[in-house]
Copies of this chain bind each other. A is one copy, B any other.
Amino acid sequence: MKAIENRTARCKQNDLALQDTIYAIGSKWKMRIFRSMCFGNIRFAEIEKSLTGITKRTLSKELKELEVNQLITRKAYPDQPSKAEYKLTSYARTLIPMINEMVRWGTEHRQMIIKGQKTA
Contacts and interface: CB of A to CB of B under 8 A. Distances in A.
> Copy number of this protein in the oligomer?
2
Contacts of A94: 105, 108
Classify chain A's interface size: 35 or more
A15 to B, nearest CB: 6
Interface of A: 7-8, 10-22, 24, 26, 28, 31-32, 35-36, 39-41, 50-52, 91, 94-95, 97-99, 101-110, 112
22 contacts: A8-B50, A10-B39, A12-B52, A14-B39, A14-B103, A15-B32, A15-B35, A15-B50, A16-B106, A16-B110, A17-B103, A18-B31, A18-B99, A18-B102, A20-B106, A20-B110, A21-B103, A21-B106, A22-B28, A22-B31, A91-B112, A97-B101
